[in-house]
Structure 1
Amino acid sequence: MKIIISNSSKEPIYEQITNQIKASILSGELKEGAAIPSMRKLAKDLQVSVITTKRAYEELEKAGFIYSIVGKGSFVAEQNLEVMREKKLKAIEEQLSAVIMNSKEIGLSLDDLQQLLKILYEE
């Protein structure tokens, strides 16, 4: 599992960790039952505070992505991938609705918007 922390990002470090682990789980890179590094090991590897990794793991546990066993570590939880996909799809729809509204406000045509989306998608 590879996690890259950006110090120039406006996103808090714990959220960067959380989002990257979620992405690894959703993509199938991390499989159900797979062990993830301990909070201490991850903190040392990323050169961040253990408090930061603890918060990231707590967020992941709350969202149902991982579970922890005292003395054994943290593991990837069983996922209902269809439910996860639906949640992601709903978020994309909401974001696209906002983009469409903003595009209409500035008079951007559908063709221009599609072209812009295509360019960004292919990057």
Structure 2
Amino acid sequence: MRIVVSNKAGQPIYQQIEDQIKTAILSGDLAAGTLLPSIRQLARDLQISVITTTRAYHDLEEQGFVTNVQGKGSYVLGQDSALVREHALRDIEQYLGQALDAAALAKIPPAELHTMLDTLIAAEGGTDVHE
């Protein structure tokens, strides 16, 4: 598993770690039962604080993505499809909320937001949102 963090990403490093591990789990790159690098090893590899990696692993455990086995390490948990969907919906709601806040500040009307979303979906090869 390869994790890349950046101080310039505009996102806390622990969040970057969480997001990359979640993505790997949800995409199937990290299968259930896979042992993650130890907190200390990951901190050493990324040249960051152990506190930062501890926060990322703790948050992943709270969200049900990993489990910590005392003295053995952190292991990937199997993902229930309903749980995966719920996490995705929560993330999407958060990002859409941020987009709505930015649109309100810029006084962009809802019709233009709909057009932007339709355009983004079409560009990604998705289907029309009105289907």
Q: Which residue of 2 aligns with 1:39?
A: 39
Q: Displacement of 1:87 after TM fit?
A: 3.3
Q: Are the equivalent residues in 2 in contact too, given 1:36–1:76 (CA < 8 A)? A: yes
Q: Are the equivalent residues in 2 in contact too, given 1:35–1:75 (CA < 8 A)? A: yes
Q: Which runs of 5+ in 1 are unaligned?
A: none
Whichever residue aligns with residue 106 of structure 1, its letter is I
Q: TM-score, normalised by structure 2?
A: 0.75
Q: Which residue of 2 aligns with 1:54?
A: 54
User: Per the alignment, do residues 83 and 37 of structure 1 end up closer, same or farther by CA in structure 2, a change over 3 Å counting?
Assistant: same
Find out whether 1:10 has 2:10 as its counterpart: yes
The partner residue of 1:114 within 115, 118, 121 is: 118
Q: TM-score, normalised by structure 1?
A: 0.80
Q: Which residue of 2 aligns with 1:28?
A: 28
Number of residue pairs matched?
A: 121
* Displacement over 6 Å in runs of 4+: none
User: Per the alignment, do residues 75 and 106 of structure 1 end up closer, same or farther by CA in structure 2, a change over 3 Å counting?
Assistant: same
Q: Are the equivalent residues in 2 in contact too, given 1:32–1:76 (CA < 8 A)? A: yes
Q: Which residue of 2 aligns with 1:64?
A: 64
Q: Displacement of 1:91 after TM fit?
A: 3.9
The worse-fitting range, judged by mean Cα deviation, of 9-18 and 109-118 is 109-118
SS in 1 for 2:20: helix
User: Per the alignment, do residues 87 and 35 of structure 1 end up closer, same or farther by CA in structure 2, a change over 3 Å counting?
Assistant: same
Q: Which residue of 1 aligns with 2:128?
A: none
Q: Distance in 2 between matches of 1:69 and 1:78?
A: 15
Q: Distance in 2 between matches of 1:68 and 1:89?
A: 26
